[in-house]
Amino acid sequence: MTEANRYEPVPEQRPPWQAGLPPAGSTPEWWFEPAPPAAPQPEHGAASRGLVTALLATSIVGAVLGGGGTYLALRGTGALDQRVAAASTGGAVNVLVQSESSQIIAAGVKVGPSVVTIVARQAIGQSVGSGIIYDAAGWILTNKHVVASATGMDVRLKDGRDFKGTIYGVDTLTDLAIVKIDGASGLSPAPIGTSTGLQVGQLAIVIGTPLGVDYPNSITSGIISALGRDITVTNNSGLSGTSLHGLIQTDAAINPGNSGGPLVDDSGRVIGVTTTMADSAQGIGFAIPIDIAKPIMQQALAGTKLSRPFIGISYLQIDAALALQNNLPLNHGAWVHKEDASGNSVEAVVADGPAALAGIKTGDIITAIEGQQINATDLLEDLLVQFAPGRTVSIDLFRGGQYLTVRLTLGTRPTATS
């Protein structure tokens, strides 16, 4: 290139930085340090404009550095990766910042000591399941299919201590059982929550002993995938099945050995009892809502026989198709109705049973129990199972164009009743 073709741009003249600005790479502490007072300037045209320009430049640079520094500081601490929940009350906003991983860790610390490994000896071989200590006297909640056919049972605590377990009772309606151990000191009962008001998508944590005794107190996490699921489970012998209704579906990993362990929410409270996983798919497991288990847990503590409530009716769960087919006035609820082999309507209320004594009649539509509405998700039997025999409950029903409320004292469910 010849000298004549050479081009060199003239450097742009920039004013010097204003004294007092933080040097490049300064720490955030500079954001809060006041700038030193500026030297007095003449109060005439060009000098005044120069001072204003310098002050504006200082403000802009400070804001850019401050904003960038804030972003880097938050990112460095992981705060930008955390879940932020804000709730507004009375015009004030309360912000709670807590990472999902810290919730899982806290739940494991809180519930882990309450989870036991159950080794049930069978006529041939043995099986492994989990259980939940719910009372310091040695009361344990687990699955019926874990212990129902056991000839003997060992219960291992998280600290490694082993105790002989005995079956206090099994539930005739669900896949639940109560086991008792004696002589164990320092037991940590699990915090028991509620399964009412659960929402699809909320955090779900499973703790148990998958794949045998070598993997105790394993923790997996996921979400509640669905509510109100129906399945059939078999016991360890595989010879019989139990139909379960109103289950919690979760994608938190459940494997053989997790059965009987807790499903835990983000506050570290038990909301369900894990019962089974889908054999033909991954990420599909089920748990019995804890509210269904509470009556038998209380019965065991009271020293009474495990039993379930009975109202003494036959009914059909109403949906839109059933309502249209039978010209029913409502498209939800439990229709007190029964048919014989020929399809003719017959008496659907058991004579002298709890429903008959309360004044319920064939053809009534039961709409709620204790204020809990009966619908496609919350079936009559799923709501009823939350109450113990002997309790008096309010029953809302629809009859002849009007709503009525009756009081019904629950009976004890016969073993042979489906």
> What is the pTM (predicted TM-score) of this model?
0.69
Tell me the mean pLDDT in the region 179-204.
95
Residue 382 sits in a domain whose CATH number is 2.30.42.10
In the residue annotation, 44 being an active-site residue is answered as no
Query: What pLDDT was estimated at residue 21?
Result: 47
CATH code of the domain covering residue 240: 2.40.10.120
Same domain, yes or no, for 382 and 279?
A: no
The parent domain of residue 354 ranges over 309-412
Do residues 295 and 330 both lie within one domain?
Answer: no
Q: Is 93 part of a structural domain of the chain?
A: no
Residue 221: its pLDDT value, please?
Answer: 95
- Regarding whether 352 and 294 lie in a shared domain, the answer is no
**Where is the domain boundary, 247, 282, 302?**
302
Structural domain contains residue 20:
no
Whether 257 and 320 share a structural domain: no
Give tens-digit pLDDT for 19-55.
Answer: 444 454 444 433 334 445 555 555 555 555 555 455 5
- Which one of 130, 218, 259, 307 is the catalytic residue? 259
10 found inside a domain: no
Is 175 noted as a catalytic residue in this protein?
A: yes
- 3-state SS record for 142-167: ECHHHHCCCCEEEEECCCCCEEEEEE
Q: How confident is the model at residue 418 (pLDDT cuts 50, 70, 90)?
A: very low
The single residue of 171, 175, 265, 382 carrying the catalytic annotation is 175
Tell me if 52 is assigned to some domain: no
Q: Is there a domain that residue 237 lies in? A: yes
Confidence of residue 293 (pLDDT cuts 50, 70, 90): very high
**Do 212 and 347 fall within a single domain?**
no
The CA distance from 266 to 204, in Å, is 7
Question: From CA 216, how far away is CA 160, in angstroms rounded?
Answer: 10
pLDDT attached to residue 8: 56
Q: Which of 302, 329, 350 is the last residue of a domain?
A: 302
| 126 pLDDT tier (thresholds 50, 70, 90) | confident
Q: Assess whether 204 and 337 both reside in one domain.
A: no
125 lies in some domain: yes
Q: Are residues 329 and 196 in the same domain?
A: no
Q: Are residues 239 and 321 in the same domain?
A: no
Residues 336 and 268 in one domain: no
Q: Do 194 and 318 have their domain in common?
A: no
Q: What is the pLDDT of residue 106?
A: 93
Q: Is 221 a catalytic residue?
A: no
The whole-number pLDDT of residue 71 equals 45
Residue 387 lies in a domain: yes
Beta bridge partners of 334: 317, 366
Domain membership flag for residue 279:
yes
Does one domain contain both 155 and 296?
Answer: yes
Same domain, 319 and 227: no
pLDDT per residue over 75-117, tens digit each?
444 444 444 343 444 445 555 555 778 899 999 999 999 999 9
Residue that terminates a domain, selected from 256, 278, 302: 302
Supply the pLDDT for residue 77.
46
Percent of the chain, pLDDT > 90? 56
Higher-confidence residue: 46 or 328? 328
Residue 237 to residue 287: CA distance in whole angstroms: 21
Task: Choose the catalytic residue: 114, 127, 130, 145.
Answer: 145
Q: How many domains is the chain partitioned into structurally? A: 2
